[in-house]
Chains A and B, each alone.
Chain A
Amino acid sequence: AQSVTQLDSHVSVSEGTPVLLRCNYSSSYSPSLFWYVQHPNKGLQLLLKYTSAATLVKGINGFEAEFKKSETSFHLTKPSAHMSDAAEYFCVVSDRGKSTFGDGTTLTVKP
């Protein structure tokens, strides 16, 4: 069985400050891990993915995530938030053909 927990349902940051969205997972095997972003009334878009290569993964729009097996975490970070980063973010664990989505984290960016 696999599961994913996004530790914060809402995160609010000021523009120009760092972003940290936390994700913990559990999986019996070696999973693939993804972060997706969803802007209002849009579909989900891939930000980045981990598939057992480098543990530090760089994605689009300056986001990156680090896979930490010992902590079963895959936190998403960005050094400096931009107003356009305000959206819903989903962490996903995928294993043996089955994907499990987290409940999502709403990121608010204040001017």
Chain B
Amino acid sequence: ETGVTQTPRHLVMGMTNKKSLKCEQHLGHNAMYWYKQSAKKPLELMFVYNFKEQTENNSVPSRFSPECPNSSHLFLHLHTLQPEDSALYLCASSQEVLAGGSSRTDTQYFGPGTRLTVL
């Protein structure tokens, strides 16, 4: 067990639905990530939270809305999605180490993912 859990594991939703993906890490890490993994495409980083603050948003459409209420929990709120949003959504966590004015990312620990299908 990696210490990162994701729920639900599978989700089917219509384009007008609103749903949320949940990620929880039990590793005491200070950074959390959302990735999108589509078939035959590279892994895409969507959002990064360091110390509960969003530090990266890689031009993700506004129909994806992240929330990080504390360093252990990360949500991805979904609304009015498109069929091309169907993918495996992976959550990860890591311990960011600050040294010499810059940060270093240690190993990322991944959850099992949520397989999302948008009809």
Contacts and interface: CB of A to CB of B under 8 A. Distances in A.
B34 interface: no
Interface residues of B, number: 24
A96 B115 contact: no
Contacts of B107: 34, 46, 49
Nearest to A34: B107
A58 B104 CA distance: 21
B43 interface: yes
A41 B43 contact: no
Chain A binding surface, main DSSP class: strand
A90 interface: yes
B112 A101 contact: no
Chain B binding surface, main DSSP class: strand
A101 B43 contact: yes
The size class of the interface chain A forms with chain B is: 20 to 34
A104 B107 CA distance: 17
Contacts of B43: 90, 101, 104
B104 A96 contact: yes
B115 A101 contact: no
Nearest to A101: B43
B105 interface: yes
B42 A101 contact: yes
Interface of A: 32, 34, 36, 41-46, 49, 90, 92, 94, 96-99, 101-104
